[in-house]
């Protein structure tokens, strides 16, 4: 919308003429309202961490965490290596220490930050789960306080109230790769796993209030993020805002509260969920390839977001699914778990 405008219109880039247009606001709303996705994955991971150790001995918690880390990290390393190889073929190389750093921080692809993040929670789960079982309220309070502190640091940085020598430390503490910035969502999932029946009964009484909260907080988040952008020029995703975090919490609790509502196409969604990690590992590079192909072959499509965006979604989900199906039925099917978890 801003950097490729010259492909279909005679202007210099970046071109911000489309800021404030209906397509701009439509994409802004979609982009912001999907910030519940990472909190939702962390919530589910925490929930099943509690479920997995419910009837297990404390010592087995480490074995469960190790198994989950193995299923998470092996496919991540495989596809990170593929991406690094693609970079080499394009003439982009780094020193060995930089490769190790990128692997540790999810630096092979921008969306891979989630793997180191979730790995931290799995490593902490044997310590967190027993606390959630016996002192769930205190765990929620402590994790909420911790997360609120990191959000406050981001606001201080935004307002320019931090001295330069401290900025480096603040960037580390507020990195999306660090567990403290998402601690409450995992803790909420673990506590919910141990007290799911009580939680459902309590939330059911307030489900319509929660639905209203989702709408109100989602609207506030979209407005706040746009105000921040207009005042500072910094493009903040809603997940970095207080309103965004409250919206994500309201969304999760609302989903649990309406657990008896039947969902259409639930069978298709269930099949998609079984392949979600594979889609996650592949989709971003697929979208990048398709976007570049459109830019070169049919650049006029870039002017029509209502057409361009669905094409990216279809390829971003469909291509990984087709590739996984081919691997599952082909001679490399034994390698499926190592490729896609």
Specify whether 221 is located in the same domain as 272: no
Domain membership of residue 285 (yes or no) is yes
Specify whether 192 is located in the same domain as 127: yes
Specify whether 211 is located in the same domain as 280: no
Q: Give the residue from 225, 257, 289 where a domain finishes.
A: 257
Residues of the chain with pLDDT under 70: 54-60, 158-174, 238-239
Specify whether 174 is located in the same domain as 276: no
Query: What distance in Å separates the CA atoms of residue 198 and residue 195, rounded to the nearest whole number?
Result: 6
Specify whether 79 is located in the same domain as 194: yes
Domain membership of residue 204 (yes or no) is yes
Specify whether 210 is located in the same domain as 251: yes
Domain membership of residue 7 (yes or no) is no
Domain membership of residue 8 (yes or no) is no
At residue 38, the pLDDT reads 92
Specify whether 200 is located in the same domain as 61: yes
The total number of structural domains in the chain stands at 2
Specify whether 150 is located in the same domain as 213: yes
Q: What is the pTM of this model?
A: 0.87
Burial class (CB in 10 A: 0-12, 13-18, 19+), 299: middle
The tokens for 307 are 């057409």
The tokens for 77 are 């390393």
Domain membership of residue 19 (yes or no) is no
Inter-CA distances, 89 with 84, 85, 122, Å: 9, 6, 35
Query: What distance in Å separates the CA atoms of residue 261 and residue 214, rounded to the nearest whole number?
Result: 17
- For 299, the domain range is 266-340
At residue 77, the pLDDT reads 95
Contact 35, 238 (CB under 8 A): yes
Q: Give the residue from 200, 232, 257 where a domain finishes.
A: 257
Q: Give the residue from 237, 257, 277 where a domain finishes.
A: 257
Inter-CA distances, 51 with 129, 179, 205, 304, Å: 10, 21, 25, 46
Inter-CA distances, 153 with 84, 161, 171, 284, 327, Å: 33, 10, 9, 30, 45
Query: What distance in Å separates the CA atoms of residue 336 and residue 341, rounded to the nearest whole number?
Result: 7
Specify whether 273 is located in the same domain as 237: no
């Amino acid at each position: 919308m801003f950097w490729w405008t010259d492909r279909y219109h005679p202007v210099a880039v970046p071109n911000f003429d489309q800021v404030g247009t209906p397509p701009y606001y439509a994409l802004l709303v979609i982009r912001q309202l999907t910030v519940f996705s990472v909190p939702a994955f962390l919530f589910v991971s925490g929930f099943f961490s509690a479920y997995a150790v419910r009837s297990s001995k404390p010592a087995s918690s480490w074995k469960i965490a190790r198994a989950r880390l193995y299923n998470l990290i092996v496919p991540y390393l495989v596809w990170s290596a593929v991406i690094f190889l693609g970079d080499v073929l394009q003439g982009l190389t780094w020193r060995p220490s930089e490769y190790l750093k990128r692997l540790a921080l999810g630096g092979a692809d921008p969306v891979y930050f989630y793997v180191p993040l979730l790995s931290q929670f799995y490593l902490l789960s044997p310590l967190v789960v027993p606390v959630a079982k016996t002192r769930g309220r205190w765990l929620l309070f402590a994790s909420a306080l911790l997360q609120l502190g990191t959000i406050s640091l981001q606001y201080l940085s935004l307002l320019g109230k931090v001295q330069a020598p401290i900025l480096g430390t603040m960037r580390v503490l507020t990195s999306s790769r660090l567990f403290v910035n998402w601690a409450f969502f995992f803790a909420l999932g673990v506590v919910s796993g141990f007290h799911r029946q009580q939680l459902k009964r309590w939330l059911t009484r307030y489900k319509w209030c929660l639905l209203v909260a989702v709408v109100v907080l989602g609207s506030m988040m979209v407005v706040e993020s746009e105000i921040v952008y207009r005042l500072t020029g910094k493009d903040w995703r809603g997940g970095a805002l207080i309103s965004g975090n409250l919206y994500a919490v309201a969304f999760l609790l609302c989903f649990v509260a309406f657990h008896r509502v039947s969902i259409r196409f639930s069978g298709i969604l269930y099949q998609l969920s079984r392949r979600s990690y594979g889609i996650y590992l592949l989709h971003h590079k697929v979208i990048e390839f398709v976007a570049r192909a459109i830019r070169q072959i049919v650049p006029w499509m870039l002017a029509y977001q209502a057409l361009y965006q669905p094409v990216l979604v279809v390829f971003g989900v469909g291509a990984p699914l087709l590739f996984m199906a081919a691997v599952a039925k082909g001679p490399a099917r034994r390698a499926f778990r190592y490729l896609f978890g």
